[in-house]
């Protein structure tokens, strides 16, 4: 029986400002769900950092425990097929948005959100991947479905020093793609090359050239967690039938584009949503992350922090000082 436990809670004050603090909660405070999980690890995503900001569009109700990712063991279950002791991963859905999330020593969730931990992955490795890795994997899956393949030329990854970007560089390289990494952090070039990037370039647009609707064909595909004006820069440089997977908006949430890359070169824009992916596809992507890739290589991109360090780490993410993946270790040892 769990008496009380520590959680990171955000609330909206009367003046509309969002305030965050650690609190002791009981299981009575947790939302409805048929499975109670003891959280061993969580991870920090950009969305979690946004959730702590005033006027954010992430949190749907207050108070809220943010944290869109968690991995741990089931300690209570009313769900057939999910037993006490099972190691599980939960990412996205309503977690940390309208349902208390992973920045908590315990979480109660709906069993339909659960992915069983693949047996080639540790709980820590699952959170090095987290939503960032899962989303990069989902983007690769979608891009390959529309024709991306290792024979057809380089693949660009934007925001390469961030969570989604680093994992996309690592996964694509491991599969055999020639990866070009675009980053604003020059000091990450060696790390990105050690993860497999063949070339590291500056953030895009490097120098927005002219108003020409097309430029020379440069990349077969792009994984784009950055958004903004760079999308236009990239689409006019994709090869014939190339595709860009749009994931995020750290560099802006709007862009203007000409129709010409699409109608003259058959360029595709794919939208990637990791939150409500169908469970079958979700499980397939996790199986791929666990089996086709080499989880043991993930450890070079992690920074492991204690739960107490969470507030400072959220600040570093919102200010874009983070690199790779930040994993929160709740100190559970079995």
Ligand X SMILES: NC(=O)c1ccc[n+]([C@@H]2O[C@H](COP(=O)([O-])OP(=O)(O)OC[C@H]3O[C@@H](n4cnc5c(N)ncnc54)[C@H](OP(=O)(O)O)[C@@H]3O)[C@@H](O)[C@H]2O)c1
Residues 6+ apart with CB under 8 A from 115: 88, 89, 90, 91, 279, 282, 283, 286
Pick the stretch among 16-24, 31-39, 74-82, 314-322 that binds ligand X (CB under 6 A). 314-322
Q: Which of 118, 162, 242, 261 binds ligand X (CB under 6 A)?
A: 162
> CA-CA distance, 233 to 249, in Å (whole number)?
15
Pick the stretch among 26-34, 144-152, 177-185, 279-287 that binds ligand X (CB under 6 A). 177-185
> CA-CA distance, 71 to 9, in Å (whole number)?
19
Site string for ligand X, 115-154 (x = CB under 6 A): ----------------xx--x-------------------
Start-to-end CA span in the chain (Å):
18
Q: Which of 96, 118, 163, 261 binds ligand X (CB under 6 A)?
A: 163
Comparison of 216 and 276: residue with beta carbon closer to ligand X? 276
Pick the stretch among 81-89, 98-106, 249-257, 258-266 that binds ligand X (CB under 6 A). 249-257
Closest distance between ligand X and the C-beta of residue 274, in Å? 3
Q: List residues bridging with 304 in a β-sheet.
A: 327
- Number of other residues whose CB lies within 10 A of the CB of residue 326: 27
Residues 6+ apart with CB under 8 A from 296: none
Residue 106 has phi, psi (to 5 degrees) of -135, 150
Pick the stretch among 21-29, 170-178, 271-279, 291-299 that binds ligand X (CB under 6 A). 271-279
Site string for ligand X, 82-121 (x = CB under 6 A): ----------------------------------------
DSSP 220: E
> CA-CA distance, 94 to 102, in Å (whole number)?
11
Query: HEC profile for 145-194?
Result: HCCCCCCCCCEEECCCCCHHHHHHHHHHHHHCCCEEEECCCHHHHHHHHH
Comparison of 123 and 247: residue with beta carbon closer to ligand X? 247
Q: Which of 20, 42, 45, 52 binds ligand X (CB under 6 A)?
A: 45
Residue 64 has phi, psi (to 5 degrees) of -140, 145
Locate all alpha helices (DSSP H) within 20-122, ordered by sequence: 46-51
Comparison of 127 and 272: residue with beta carbon closer to ligand X? 272
Here the tokens at position 226 are: 């950055």
Closest distance between ligand X and the C-beta of residue 257, in Å? 17
Site string for ligand X, 193-232 (x = CB under 6 A): ----------x---------------------xx------
Residues that bind ligand X (CB under 6 A): 45-47, 131-132, 135, 159-165, 183-185, 203, 225-226, 247-251, 272-275, 317, 320, 322
């Amino acid at each position: 029986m769990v008496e009380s436990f520590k959680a990171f809670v955000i609330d909206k004050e009367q003046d509309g400002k969002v305030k965050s603090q650690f609190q002791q909660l009981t299981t009575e405070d947790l939302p409805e769900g048929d499975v109670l999980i003891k959280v061993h690890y969580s991870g920090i995503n950009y969305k979690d950092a946004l959730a702590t900001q005033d006027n954010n569009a992430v949190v749907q109700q207050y108070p809220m425990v943010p944290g869109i990712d968690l991995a741990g063991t089931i300690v209570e279950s009313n769900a057939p097929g999910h037993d006490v002791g099972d190691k599980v991963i939960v990412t996205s859905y309503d977690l940390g948005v309208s349902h208390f999330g992973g920045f908590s020593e315990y979480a109660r969730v709906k069993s339909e959100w659960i992915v069983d931990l693949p047996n080639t992955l540790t709980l820590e490795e699952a959170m090095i991947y987290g939503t960032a890795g899962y989303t990069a994997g989902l983007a690769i899956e979608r891009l390959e479905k529309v024709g991306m393949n290792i024979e057809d030329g380089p693949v660009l990854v934007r925001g390469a020093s961030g969570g989604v970007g680093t994992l996309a560089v690592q996964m694509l390289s491991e599969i055999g793609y020639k990866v070009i990494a675009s980053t604003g952090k020059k000091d990450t070039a060696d790390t990105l090359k050690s993860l497999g990037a063949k070339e590291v370039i500056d953030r895009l647009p490097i120098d927005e050239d002219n108003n020409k609707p097309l430029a020379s064909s440069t990349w077969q595909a792009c994984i784009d967690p950055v958004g903004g004006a760079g999308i236009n820069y990239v689409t006019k440089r994709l090869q014939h039938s190339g595709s860009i997977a749009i994931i995020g908006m750290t560099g802006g949430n709007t862009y203007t584009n000409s129709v010409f890359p699409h109608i003259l070169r058959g360029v595709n824009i794919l939208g990637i949503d990791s939150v409500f992916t169908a469970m079958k596809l979700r499980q397939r992507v996790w199986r791929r992350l666990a089996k086709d890739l080499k989880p043991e290589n993930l450890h070079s991109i992690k920074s492991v922090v204690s739960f107490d360090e969470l507030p400072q780490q959220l600040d570093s993410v919102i200010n874009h000082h983070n690199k790779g993946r930040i994993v929160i270790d709740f100190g559970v040892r079995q």
